[in-house]
Amino acid sequence: MTESTRDPADVAAWLRLTSTPGVSAQSGRRLLAAFGLPQTVLAQDAARLREVVEPGAARALAAPPDAAMSALIARTVAWLAEPRHFMVTMADAGYPARLLDLADPPLLLYINGDPGRLAGHALGMVGARKATAQGTRDARAFASAFSQAGLTVVSGLALGIDAAAHTGALEGPGGTVAVIGTGADIVYPARHHALAHQVVDAGGAIVSEFALGTPGIPNHFPRRNRIIAALSRGVLVVEAAERSGSLITARLASEIGREVFAMPGSIHAELARGCHKLIRQGAKLVETPADVLEEFTGLAAITLPEPPRASAAATNVVDVFGAALAYDPVTFDALCERSGVTPDLAAAALLELELGGTVERVPGNRYRRLA
């Protein structure tokens, strides 16, 4: 057994097993169980293969690779020849053992970066793509604390909480792993090209089970989520609506025996409802990084510094705003008109409250109260 697969013949065989039309991940596992390694599978005739898989899949596997498969093989062999690019299969010693807790572990992984990051102590962090400013700050600060404590933060490279978690984790030695729902040669969303490079350059890894060139398809992201859950010793949900992919990740984590953590929020906030649902279902309520770290034996408890507090003058302005500054967004002009506060004083106070995490500015020059 080797740490990773690089031999072109082995690469070709694994690609044919995992990328031949009609051969699902489930049938691929059946073939491996029946015949052994992929090259042995491909040495069988169609009649033998039909004992395990559907006739169409058996014929495709028994036939020589077509032009599309040959192109994919050539592309993958070339990609693996580049620095920090790896293919790790279930036959390799470098395959992450935690993934075997899944009912449907991936047959292989494409890794851009350090495969060793997938074997360390890790915490999954997920949440809303359209996160609040406060949620983004919390995700980054908590991820930084986890990384400083030696945990590798695993997330999905998506907008919002994922991006904040990766960014915060880059600030510590634990680093970060991004599990993606596209081919490992594609960055999605495209605006995260710089972040993806930072993850790899800092000694982290970008991981995918999908063939090179695979675009972002909606049903790939729940499959991505199960890998985030499995690689991690626990999963923290920072912000999530009641119907959210983050809750899928949490459920998958719970099903395979991982800890689930959730950060609470305002009862009026849509993005707190998913977290509150998880807490009602038994997830551990998290207010500080120490609430998570105490569940990880051998890691020092770390607490965040107190957030900056609003000045007395700003607090007085909030008191004057009263119901005008609520948990539902209100425009700046309406806020001033309803409360009688002058625009200059209101602008100064709102800026200070934003920095202190008490108020959030949302699109349309509107504000809402967070605490």
Average pLDDT over residues 134-161: 95
Q: What is the mean pLDDT of the chain?
A: 88
Give the DSSP H or E segment for 229: helix 220-231
Average pLDDT over residues 82-100: 94
- pLDDT tens digits, one per residue of 181-190: 999 999 999 9
Neighbouring C-beta atoms of residue 173, cutoff 10 Å: 13
**Best CA proximity match to 112, nearest among 173, 174, 198:** 198
**Sign of torsion over alpha carbons 330, 333, 339, 341:** positive
d(CA 90, CA 48): 23
Give CA angle at 337 (331, 343), nearest 5°: 75
Task: With a cut of 50, say whether residue 317 has pLDDT above it.
Answer: yes
Q: What is the pLDDT of residue 243?
A: 87
Q: What is the pLDDT of residue 356?
A: 63
pLDDT band at 283 (very low <50, low <70, confident <90, very high): very high
Residue whose structure tokens are 């959030």: 360
- pLDDT tens digits, one per residue of 219-264: 898 899 999 999 999 999 999 998 888 999 999 999 999 999 999 9
**284-285 sheet: strands from edge to edge:** 85-89, 108-113, 205-208, 176-179, 152-155, 122-126, 234-237, 259-262, 284-285
- pLDDT tens digits, one per residue of 289-306: 999 999 886 554 444 444
Task: With a cut of 50, say whether residue 310 has pLDDT above it.
Answer: no
Average pLDDT over residues 354-363: 71
Average pLDDT over residues 273-297: 93
Neighbouring C-beta atoms of residue 344, cutoff 10 Å: 9
Task: With a cut of 70, say whether residue 363 has pLDDT above it.
Answer: yes
**Burial class for 5, CB neighbours closer than 10 Å (0-12, 13-18, 19+):** buried
**Burial class for 90, CB neighbours closer than 10 Å (0-12, 13-18, 19+):** middle
Task: With a cut of 70, say whether residue 311 has pLDDT above it.
Answer: no
pLDDT band at 370 (very low <50, low <70, confident <90, very high): confident
**Domains of the chain and CATH, by start:** 8-81 (no CATH), 115-293 (3.40.50.450), 312-369 (1.10.10.10)
pTM exceeds 0.95 for this model: no
Query: Residues near 128 by Cβ (< 8 Å), separated by ≥ 6?
Result: 135, 160, 161, 238, 239, 240, 241, 244, 246, 271
